[in-house]
Structure 1
Amino acid sequence: MASNPEPDPPAQAAVVPDRREEFRQMTVRLVAKLRTSEREELCLVRNLSSRGLTAHVYSAIEVDSAVTFEFASGVTIPARVVWQRDSVMGVQFAERTDPALILSVRERFPDAPAPRAPRVELNIGATARVNMVHRPITLNNISQGGARVAVEEPVDVREKLTLLIDGLPPLTGQVRWSRGGVAGLAFLSPVPFDILAQWLPMVQRPPESG
């Protein structure tokens, strides 16, 4: 009797990498600092994946421009603008990035400093009202929650003052630290995001020639 031939080994399926995780997007509402070659401003990230993001922006940025995003988690990511339609922009990250790392480093590193609102660096003149006295200052940076200012006259810690800045409502804050002619303020009420985000591109716009 002829022996039964051994069954052929099962055909191996081709290994196809699962890219669903790579391109899966999550919907978020995340404030970030957007840095271009000319300025810094704020944006609102709407969709996020390991490869890129879409964001609501408040100025026109040319396609293929190099940009950098800085998040409250402390993560900074270089990227390239792929498209912009009206006030929505899509970018591709320079390298694949774990969205969980962007959203929060405190989950991975519990001892990390608490995240704070992104601060935009500036150098513009303004006025501070202290006890009904107006003093000239220079606004060094600003966020929704506070600011750093250069002052000609020292201010005391815990002193309250009001910043009078062209294009913004009066911003009252308390001095948290003061040294070497520079002071840090914490606003008593956060600056509404839309107001601050729309103001930043205008105040940093280059002067028109001619």
Structure 2
Amino acid sequence: MTEGGDTAIRNDPRQAHRASLMLRRAKLVCQSGEYLCLIRDVSELGVGLGFMHDVPPEPRTLLQLANELTYPIERVWTGKRQAGFRFGAEVTLDEFLRENSQFESRPLRLQMSAPVRLGEGRDVYDARLLDLSCEGAKFTSSVELPEGKLVTFDLEGLPPQLGQVRWVEGKRHGLRFQQPVTTEELAACALHLQPFDQTRSRGFSQLLAKARAA
């Protein structure tokens, strides 16, 4: 649908309640994966999103905020690296704008699975990515790395990173990058690891059911 299809949303009498969010990060959860997006504006009826790559082609998807609040949405228009979506359920705009969370500083995380190579001096370890943010990553490794350890982090689609192990829970590790990756780098990595023509319907269906029940 073209951008003109957004007329009904933009001309809604409640448009005075529409608010600019100054490009707040969020993620679009699709059957092919999770993709970084920027919230441009929002109203009780819908939301405008910007992307660092082509708009994901699925017309019905899920929008998830950093606090994990999730909203079913349907695309009503598409432009160059931007799109407008209609909410699939009633939205409390104040709650959406506040984006309250029990984890006030939690960064937006994209859940992705991919092989990772970790380096510590001459030693190299294989690991598996669980999620990725601009600030760091979560991964599993058969080798338990101690907290505070500095390691190199090599993930396909992302420039090599140096990070510090911040926490360990069994095989799961939390890594904080010494220098955060950019929004553009994170978005490009997500698309590289999750092409639009692949699907992972099980996780998407579970999240969709959870969102509809909320």
User: TM-score band, normalised by the shorter chain?
Assistant: 0.7 to 0.9
Whether 1:139 and 2:134 are equivalent positions in the alignment is no
- The secondary structure found in structure 2 opposite 1:153 is coil
Preserved CA contact (<8 Å) 2:129 2:139 = yes
2:153 corresponding residue in structure 1: 163
Distance 1:21 1:145 in 2: 37
Distance 1:62 1:206 in 2: 7
1:51 corresponding residue in structure 2: 45
Whether 1:80 and 2:70 are equivalent positions in the alignment is no
Contiguous gaps of at least 5 residues in structure 1: 1-18
Give the TM-score, by structure 2 length. Answer: 0.78
2:92 corresponding residue in structure 1: 98
Cα RMSD for the two superposed structures:
2.2
Which one has more relative contact order, counting CA pairs under 8 Å at least 6 apart?
2
Q: Which has the higher helix share?
A: 2
2:20 corresponding residue in structure 1: 27
Query: 1:13-32, CA deviations, whole angstroms, 9 ceiling, x for partnerless residues?
Result: xxxxxx64366322221100
1:191 corresponding residue in structure 2: 181
Amino acid across the alignment from 1:128:
L
Distance 1:164 1:154 in 2: 18
Q: Percent identity?
A: 23
**Pick aligned residue for 1:119 from 96, 99, 109:** 109
Q: 1:22 to 1:85 in 2, by over 3 A?
A: closer
CA deviation after TM superposition for structure 1 residue 68, in Å: 0.7
Give the TM-score, by structure 1 length. Answer: 0.79
Preserved CA contact (<8 Å) 2:55 2:83 = no
CA deviation after TM superposition for structure 1 residue 141, in Å: 0.9
